[in-house]
């Protein structure tokens, strides 16, 4: 499955690390920008078993780390939020089938109902792949793994898209580490985004 990792210009080492070491960083879910990340409102369970159920789910959640990606590079908001107002880059990566999880954007209140007999690991995965509908424009795909870095298969990085406002210094840095990878520039034409 193809996905795009946006990286800003403020910390160029985050972008160059992906290209130089053929890997993506996976963050602790507490460090993600949505303050509601990893939360849920309702747990349907016998009150006597509630504390144990919450502990079991948390134990599984803390084992998981998150790499957030997008299914598209054609989003003005993504370039603004995650690529330094079009001064950063988007890296196109091909992931093995079934590895990435598509975010389920809840509408209205983020109420999730879980039964007490469900597997805590499956619940943790479900919780970490649901977000409020206000985030829907990100079209997020998630890699959920136990390690800080996920090593990409050889040749997984298929191209780098340079933001339309990228500095010449950052562009040079990217070109130096992306030898052999297709590099394109983002163009904005009549409000539409295109890489060429």
Q: Residue 66's pLDDT is what?
A: 95
Q: Residue 41's pLDDT is what?
A: 57
**Distance from CA of residue 54 to its chain's centroid?**
25
Residues 99 and 82 sit within 8 Å (Cβ to Cβ): no
Q: Residue 111's pLDDT is what?
A: 44
Q: Residue 112's pLDDT is what?
A: 55
Closest CA to 140 of 30, 37, 23: 37
Q: Residue 101's pLDDT is what?
A: 96
Closest CA to 152 of 5, 12, 8, 13: 5
Q: Is the dihedral of CA 195, 138, 1, 84 positive or negative?
A: positive
Q: Residue 190's pLDDT is what?
A: 92
Tell me the pLDDT of the chain (196 aa) as tens digits: 999 999 999 999 999 999 999 999 999 987 877 766 766 655 666 677 777 878 888 899 889 999 999 999 999 999 999 999 999 999 999 999 999 999 988 754 444 555 656 788 888 888 888 888 888 999 999 999 999 999 999 999 999 999 999 999 999 999 999 989 999 999 999 989 999 9
């Amino acid at each position: 499955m193809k996905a795009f990792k946006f990286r800003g210009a403020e910390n160029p080492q985050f972008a160059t690390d992906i290209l130089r070491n053929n890997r993506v960083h996976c963050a602790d879910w507490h460090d993600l920008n949505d303050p509601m990340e990893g939360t849920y409102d309702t747990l349907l369970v016998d009150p006597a078993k509630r504390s144990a159920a919450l502990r079991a789910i948390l134990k599984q959640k803390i084992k998981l780390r998150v790499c957030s990606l997008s299914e598209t590079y054609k989003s003005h908001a993504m370039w603004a939020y995650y690529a330094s107002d079009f001064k950063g880059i988007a890296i196109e990566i091909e992931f093995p089938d079934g590895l990435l999880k598509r975010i389920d954007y809840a509408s209205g209140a983020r109420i999730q109902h879980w039964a007490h007999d469900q597997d805590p690991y499956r619940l943790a995965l479900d919780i970490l792949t649901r977000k409020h509908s206000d985030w829907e424009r990100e079209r997020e795909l998630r890699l959920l793994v136990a390690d800080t870095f996920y090593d990409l298969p050889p040749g997984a990085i298929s191209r780098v898209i340079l933001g339309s406002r990228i500095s010449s210094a950052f562009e040079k840095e990217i070109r130096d580490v992306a030898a052999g990878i297709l590099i394109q520039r983002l163009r904005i034409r009549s409000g539409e985004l295109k890489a060429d």
